[in-house]
Amino acid sequence: MIVLSKHKHLNIKRFRPTLREVAALAGVSQATASLALRGRPAVDAATRARVLEAATQLRYVPNLNGRRLARGRAETIGVIQGRNMTTLFSDSFYRMVLAGAGEAAQAAGYSLMIAPTLRKDTSVMEMLEHVGPGTVDGVLVVGVLEQEAIFALRDLGLPVVVVDTYLPGTDIPAVAHDYRAGAWQLTRHLLQLGHRRIAFVGADVDYPFGRDTHDGYRDALSSAGLPYSSVLVRMVAISAEAAAAATRDLLSATPAPTALVTVTDTMAIGAMRAAHELGRRVPEDVAVVGMDDIELSAHTNPPLTTVRVPKEEMGRLAAERLIALSRGQQPTPSVLMLSGTLVVRRSCGAGSAGRPTGEVWS
Amino acid sequence: MIVLSKHKHLNIKRFRPTLREVAALAGVSQATASLALRGRPAVDAATRARVLEAATQLRYVPNLNGRRLARGRAETIGVIQGRNMTTLFSDSFYRMVLAGAGEAAQAAGYSLMIAPTLRKDTSVMEMLEHVGPGTVDGVLVVGVLEQEAIFALRDLGLPVVVVDTYLPGTDIPAVAHDYRAGAWQLTRHLLQLGHRRIAFVGADVDYPFGRDTHDGYRDALSSAGLPYSSVLVRMVAISAEAAAAATRDLLSATPAPTALVTVTDTMAIGAMRAAHELGRRVPEDVAVVGMDDIELSAHTNPPLTTVRVPKEEMGRLAAERLIALSRGQQPTPSVLMLSGTLVVRRSCGAGSAGRPTGEVWS
DNA sequence: TTGTAAGCGTTATCAC
DNA sequence: GTGATAACGCTTACAA
């Protein structure tokens, strides 16, 4: 029985030579073999040749666990997904962030290790069973995660960088988008188009995004000298459905708002659908704007005016920062806040009034 | 100087307790501590409590490299991206495959390790510097990779599964889509709509996709008793531009084809653009169909008739297969070929003639 | 230039 | 039940 199982095992692992065997075959010590294989100068050309020869002959490939254990670093960054998404991969916003992070990691020769999220409430400790000390040099937190969890990671000695949100009142490094400025840009654009009754469909969440976008809307109204009225504001879940419901509600008031600021493109799509269902034309009867600029937004009907959040750039910068930290660089300004650009399409009714900062497509 | 550097180091790594320290604090041996922490039954309740207490007090987290080295497995699957894409993450087709693989891995408690592709021609050996024995239990090859490279991986003793393509004449396990059947479905659909002059814009590549789709087109013609004519066929690069060029070429012939089969949605989009530029209406003047069903395809103008390739399912099944192999399961039928479903939208001019197997949206 | 030997942090096999 | 002790495969002072 034992023999069988041993064979089965062998069948899978086949023969995997170790450095020791390479060294033996080359007739040198393990240390020399190690140096030779990694191209260190302090080794004789002839010896090196012998070692290399032995290695290729045995099809030697180093075992990375051994190396990492000895070196103490892994040249890998771990990714933990936040609570505000179902799956990193399937979310059209976050997977762009991930793409940016992946590219930066690749450019630095780092791998990306993506922790499995077994369940909605998988604890960070469980995630560390996969993405933990030893296997990763640092952790990129994509999206919203409990503050305690992030501190726990940091207390473990793992460098941590948060992307797309930040932790107010802490020194946790983050790379985020300025959603307050984004909401301000959108609202201001509508004001410049002449709208005065601008409703706001915001996000009823307890992380900065909710408050920041709300503030941005308010800022823009107040600098235009307009009053803020809660009659025009709905704070709802971040989903097309919730935004559609809020829109139905807002549009049934008299007088109805002439424009609608929503805080994600997904919500804007829900809002437009609700408007259409009520027989209102977008943008003629009601202008609608969103935020994020997901891939879909250029292709809705009408195409959506939105703020393009630099998704890939956020990911890229966050990964670069994390790698720098893992290499011992001292933490720099805690939150790096990027700003997005207004993308003017047709859902706001701008016509050709494209702002200099904006772009017009499709 | 040494002191400074040591401090810097400490500052980053902080204090990271090892099992040894936990054992010492609990007053037991390392072996016992290990058993206790992993919840093995053969340890006294009181002892276990002391160990757990010590562990939490020291904020102990196991070092995964040590564990993996000792255990010989990593509960991680490595992902190597094929040559037929630029980046896994940014490719709208392959990232869905990745999403499926990620979900399967997560469900099994496995992490996903994504190898950096430093350059276009990064060798597999270079990739193994990151995704190699020790760190991963198997390798998922997403897309097309040289046969030698795949054999090299396998010879290393790493289980390998290829997804979205296969290696004819080998026993390398693969999970793929039946592109031949897909092209057949598309062509047949056009035939059923009454088209007789159906052009084909295929992929000029040397992996199975190119030949299979071509064969599928031919199959459909021949079973309808129509001749295959190379006048109606263009084999080009897989890109919107190349397809647009081929389309301009095909549509300038007399008589022009009344329908166009392209082999990816990206190509179909290029083809439609070219048709529009020539003043031809789609589908009235020329029907266009694609394959893949990427996210965009439901939102083009007109929405694209296509074959929905089960991208996430391919990824899921491939990852599941790989995990099974890595656990010692014997290889089963080498190629698992999934079939896609025809999705009838407007670009083919089907009107309400939706086939029972198809779906109509948007 | 090359070799010796001590880790790196864990798991697993035995005795006790 | 618990504790020595030997792997696991590699890197790296330090010696020779």
Kindly determine whether the C-beta of residue B47 is less than 7 Å away from any atom of nucleic acid strand D. Answer: yes
Higher-scoring residue by pLDDT: B7, B222: B222
Kindly determine whether the C-beta of residue B28 is less than 7 Å away from any atom of nucleic acid strand D. Answer: yes
DSSP class of A280: -
Mean residue pLDDT of chain B comes to: 89
Contact B131, B179 (CB under 8 A): no
- In the predicted model, what is the mean pLDDT of residues A262-270? 97
How far separated are the first and last CA of chain A, in Å rounded? 68
Q: What pLDDT was estimated at residue B358?
A: 43
pLDDT at residue B143 greater than cutoff 80? yes
Q: What pLDDT was estimated at residue A229?
A: 97
Going by pLDDT thresholds of 50, 70 and 90, the confidence category of residue A15 is low
| Rounded Cα distance, A69 and A310, in Å | 37
How far is the CA of B7 from the CAs of A322, A325, B3, B12, B14, in angstroms?
20, 15, 6, 9, 9
- By C-alpha distance, the chain A residue nearest B109 is A116
What totals of helices (H) and strands (E) does chain B contain, helices first? 13, 13
Phi, psi (rounded to 5 degrees) for A269? -65, -40
pLDDT at residue B208 greater than cutoff 90? yes
Q: What percent of chain B has pLDDT over 90?
A: 70
Beta bridge partners of A295: none
DSSP class of B297: G
B151: amino acid identity, one letter: F
Range list of H helices, chain A: 2-13, 19-26, 30-37, 45-58, 64-71, 94-107, 124-128, 147-155, 179-192, 208-223, 240-251, 265-277, 311-326
- In the predicted model, what is the mean pLDDT of residues B78-83? 92
Kindly determine whether the C-beta of residue A19 is less than 7 Å away from any atom of nucleic acid strand D. Answer: yes
> Which tens digit of pLDDT belongs to each residue from A204-252?
999 999 999 999 999 999 999 999 999 999 999 999 999 999 999 999 9
Phi, psi (rounded to 5 degrees) for A256? -75, 150
| Rounded Cα distance, B101 and B85, in Å | 17
Kindly determine whether the C-beta of residue A31 is less than 7 Å away from any atom of nucleic acid strand C. Answer: yes
pLDDT at residue B128 greater than cutoff 90? no
- By C-alpha distance, the chain B residue nearest A130 is B111
Q: What pLDDT was estimated at residue A351?
A: 60
pLDDT at residue A282 greater than cutoff 70? yes
Q: What pLDDT was estimated at residue B29?
A: 92
A326 neighbourhood in chain B, CB within 8 Å: 12
| Rounded Cα distance, A177 and B274, in Å | 38
On the 0-12 / 13-18 / 19+ scale of CB atoms within 10 A, B227 is exposed
Contact B203, B210 (CB under 8 A): yes
B195: amino acid identity, one letter: H
pLDDT at residue B3 greater than cutoff 80? no
- In the predicted model, what is the mean pLDDT of residues A254-281? 96
Q: What pLDDT was estimated at residue B330?
A: 78
Q: What pLDDT was estimated at residue B351?
A: 60
DSSP notation for B311-341: HHHHHHHHHHHHHHHHTTPPP--SEEEE--E
How far is the CA of B184 from the CAs of A54, B109, B200, B208, in angstroms?
51, 39, 11, 15
Helix crossing, B30-37 with B45-58: angle to 10°?
A: 90
| Residues of chain A (50-89) having a beta carbon less than 7 angstroms from strand C | 66, 69-70, 72
Q: What pLDDT was estimated at residue B288?
A: 98
Structure tokens at B82: 């094929």
- In the predicted model, what is the mean pLDDT of residues B121-149? 87
Q: Classify A222 as helix, strand or coil.
A: helix
Q: Could you tell me which of B221, B333, B348, B336 has the C-alpha nearest to residue B283?
A: B348
- Are B111 and A107 an interchain contact pair (Cβ–Cβ within 8 Å)? no
Nucleotides of D under 7 A from a protein CB: 1-13
**CA of A132 vs chain B CAs: smallest distance (Å):** 7
How far separated are the first and last CA of chain B, in Å rounded? 68
**CA of A165 vs chain B CAs: smallest distance (Å):** 21
* Spatial distance from the CA of B83 to the C1' of C10 (Å): 38
Contact A207, A240 (CB under 8 A): no
Q: What pLDDT was estimated at residue B1?
A: 24
Q: What pLDDT was estimated at residue A259?
A: 98
Cα-Cα-Cα-Cα dihedral sign, residues B13, B17, B18, B20: positive
Select the highest-mean-pLDDT range: A64-68, B87-91, B198-202, B333-337. Answer: B198-202
Going by pLDDT thresholds of 50, 70 and 90, the confidence category of residue A10 is very low
Mutate to test the interface with B, among A69, A89, A110, A300 (most CBs of B within 10 A): A89
Contact B358, B343 (CB under 8 A): yes
pLDDT at residue B107 greater than cutoff 90? no
Higher-scoring residue by pLDDT: B169, A353: B169
Q: What percent of chain A has pLDDT over 70?
A: 92
Q: What pLDDT was estimated at residue B192?
A: 96
> Which tens digit of pLDDT belongs to each residue from A309-354?
999 999 999 999 999 999 888 777 799 999 999 999 999 998 644 4
Nucleotides of C under 7 A from a protein CB: 1-5, 7-13
Contact B323, B138 (CB under 8 A): yes
- Are A61 and B132 an interchain contact pair (Cβ–Cβ within 8 Å)? yes
Phi, psi (rounded to 5 degrees) for B330? -75, 145
pLDDT at residue B13 greater than cutoff 50? no
Chain Cα centroid distance, residue A90: 12
On the 0-12 / 13-18 / 19+ scale of CB atoms within 10 A, A339 is middle
> Which tens digit of pLDDT belongs to each residue from A103-152?
899 888 888 898 877 677 778 777 787 788 888 999 999 999 999 999 98
* Spatial distance from the CA of A26 to the C1' of C3 (Å): 14
pLDDT at residue A11 greater than cutoff 60? no
Q: What percent of chain A has pLDDT over 90?
A: 70
R_g over Cα of chain A: 27
Nearest to B116 among A106, A114, A118 (CB): A106
- In the predicted model, what is the mean pLDDT of residues A350-359? 48
Beta bridge partners of B237: none
* pTM for this predicted structure: 0.84
